[in-house]
Structure 1
Amino acid sequence: MLATTRHDAVSLLTLQRPERRNAINLELAQALLAAAQSEVDAGARVLVVTGEGTSFCSGADLTGVYGDAFLDALYGMLHGLTRLPVPVVAAVNGPAIGAGTQLALACDLRVADEKALFGVPTARNGMAVDAWTMRTLQTVAGGGLARRLMLAAETVDRDEAVRYGLVDRTGDLDAALAWAQEIATLAPLTLAHNKLVLNGGGEEEVARTFAACWESEDVQEAAAARAEKRPPIFRGR
């Protein structure tokens, strides 16, 4: 259902339900959040999420049983990814529809190949997504595209998603992993602070992470690296 592999400081989480085009059910939502947290606890500095086969994630599994348990698991996973202190990169390797687009939005950065598609067709099935989904879509891709996806139930391809900012870079899984490796060399405390601010963290928590950056050994390491004309080695402390 979910595979986890480590590439140095980068952990790759692969949705493995190709027979359902990686549709999310209760168990997969729970497994993804648990694996992501476990990898961060084990020292991963960047996570990459992708799908096995020809789809990133086709949405919620419509053969599943819906109710509070599923919704709690789905939104617990989505919101949980946004609260992780490390960057999460979506390697969108095909259609990302409904919950697939939500999963891509829960990631901090998105790399998409030529087969990627995005859409949130709740108006076609009578379902609904939470306010966070629509507001995040509006923030990332702008009000125009958000309204087209949410009010006209449109689907956009990779190139159009790039134009609107929904996709940050084009490329395959290898490109996403290479970018993640670059990001993993950056200062972890700074990345955690920046992500917290960008995702609307509270003033007290933001003040704490701000102070932690300025008081860190990594600040001293950066200064030493500049003086010694070498790349800094950040340790997150």
Structure 2
Amino acid sequence: MSDPVPPASDDAVLTAERDGDVAVLTLTRPDRRNALNTDLCLAIRAAVDEAVGTGARAILVTGEGTAFCSGADLGGVYGDEFLDALYGMLHHLAKVPVPIVAAVNGPAIGAGTQLAMACDLRVADATAKFAVPTARNGMAVDAWTIRTLAELAGTGRARRLMLAGESLDCEEALLCGLADRAGTLEDALAWAHEIAALAPLALAHNKLVLNGSTADDAAIEQSFRDVWASEDVRESLTARDEKRRPVFRGV
């Protein structure tokens, strides 16, 4: 990877690097198995906005060490400040116009599963595990989490996770669609680079429609028209005539 962004202090909870057109965000609380606290939720949101603002064409999210994210840091979870930071970050990830890939390099429990679901695609390694154990800890997640889980994993498996407190391993997550591919961080990064070469405006439109609850009909219609009016459409036609790969610029 290139162009590392140095952490603000020794207590940094997230690192950000650029690998060409891909921004790589790594949760760096391995001593807490990358559990989310208020600072980390705010850092993820800020880093995603920074990546989009500086022209990243895809974003990769992963965790340092042997866990993707073990959930909410129970030392500081009880309070509106954390809940606002967590759900503000999760819902924001669904709205940004750039595809986000989660490299689930180990357990993604509770808020870790939520973070993986807020990403657009999930690559799970052999140690990945997904669970939302609110029935075991007496807590609650918002309706977006439960509905998104049901859309991705199917109603039956969502009921098992939410009502029976069960978990899904990598194999079952792949079978039901909660995970999209099996692979390592390197595999996820390679996929992110493939995605980064695709047409940015088309990707943004597709994400907007897929996450339709975040946009109104007028925004979707305008996005549709912007794609068809873009130079990328003409570039695609030219590339086909010239028998080469198109080079999309997002304009």
CA distance in 1, matches of 2:84, 2:76: 14
What SS is found at the alignment partner of 1:32? Answer: helix
Identity of aligned residues (%): 65
- The answer for the alignment partner of 1:168 in structure 2 is 180
Are 1:17 and 2:29 an aligned pair? yes
Change (3 A) 1:40 1:175: same
Listed one character per residue, the Cα deviations across residues 111-167 of structure 1 (whole Å, up to 9, x for unaligned) are 000000000000011100000000001111110110000000101100010010000
CA distance in 1, matches of 2:131, 2:93: 20
CA distance in 1, matches of 2:77, 2:113: 21
**Match of residue 218, structure 1, among 216, 232, 235:** 232
One-letter identity of the residue aligned with 1:213 = V
CA distance in 2, matches of 1:66, 1:6: 34
What SS is found at the alignment partner of 2:62? Answer: strand
- The answer for the alignment partner of 2:4 in structure 1 is none
**Match of residue 31, structure 1, among 40, 43, 67:** 43
Are 1:145 and 2:144 an aligned pair? no
What SS is found at the alignment partner of 1:110? Answer: strand
**What are the within-5 Å matches in structure 2 for residues 1-237 of structure 1?**
1-200=13-212, 201-237=215-251
CA distance in 2, matches of 1:16, 1:76: 20
Listed one character per residue, the Cα deviations across residues 35-88 of structure 1 (whole Å, up to 9, x for unaligned) are 011011000010000000000000000011521111000000000100010100
TM-score normalised by structure 1 residue count: 0.99
One-letter identity of the residue aligned with 2:222 = R
CA distance in 2, matches of 1:228, 1:65: 57
- Ranges in structure 2 where 5+ consecutive residues have no aligned partner: 1-12
- Ranges in structure 1 where 5+ consecutive residues have no aligned partner: none
What SS is found at the alignment partner of 1:53? Answer: coil
What SS is found at the alignment partner of 1:231? Answer: coil
* Structure 1 segments (4+ residues) deviating >3 Å: none
CA distance in 1, matches of 2:36, 2:193: 27
TM-score normalised by structure 2 residue count: 0.94
What SS is found at the alignment partner of 1:14? Answer: strand
Shift of 1:181: 0.3
CA distance in 2, matches of 1:155, 1:190: 35
One-letter identity of the residue aligned with 1:43 = G
Listed one character per residue, the Cα deviations across residues 15-50 of structure 1 (whole Å, up to 9, x for unaligned) are 000000000000000000000110110000100000
RMSD after superposition = 0.6
CA distance in 1, matches of 2:193, 2:219: 27
One-letter identity of the residue aligned with 2:67 = S
